[in-house]
Amino acid sequence: MIHRLLADLVVFTHLLFIVFVVLGGGLALRWPRLAVVHLPAACWGAFIELSGGICPLTPLENAWRQAAGEAGYAGSFIEHYLLPIIYPAGLTRDIQFVLAALVVVINVAAYARLLSRRRRPK
């Protein structure tokens, strides 16, 4: 039971990280100090998508699932509703490149705006 809960927690954390990578630039507009945490996270997210690498959270989740005696993603609310968002069916390398480009464009725009606001005289 505990291993399954830990695996679900990893999936939920993974989703929060993805949302932070995509939208964190907007949060940094409101709280500029957040950029110190968001920029490395956004770079990591773009790197994983562009390189085809695997986020360390994925093997961790799989290890907890195996420890729970599960072979797949069946059963819980988190698995049913969140996993298709994180691991959509039909995800290809081309789609991963588009997703990485979106992350970069969204965040470059947010940080360009943040920098332009900081440069304006008050």
Domain assignments of the chain as residue spans, ordered by start = 2-119
Distance CA 10, CA 7 (A): 5
Would the pLDDT of 74 be above 50? no
CA 37 to centroid of chain Cα atoms: 13
Distance CA 120, CA 116 (A): 6
Whether residue 106 contacts residue 22, with contact meaning beta carbons closer than 8 Å, is answered with: yes
Distance CA 8, CA 14 (A): 10
- Fill in the amino acid letter for 5: L
Give the three-state DSSP class for 108: helix
Question: pLDDT tens digits for 78-98?
Answer: 555 566 777 778 878 888 888
Segment 62-85 mean pLDDT: 68
CA 36 to centroid of chain Cα atoms: 17
Tokens of 113: 């705006």
pLDDT at 122: 62
Distance CA 68, CA 66 (A): 5
Report the percent of the chain where pLDDT is more than 70.
89
Question: pLDDT tens digits for 13-40?
Answer: 988 998 999 899 999 999 999 999 999 9
Distance CA 49, CA 87 (A): 12
Distance CA 83, CA 119 (A): 41
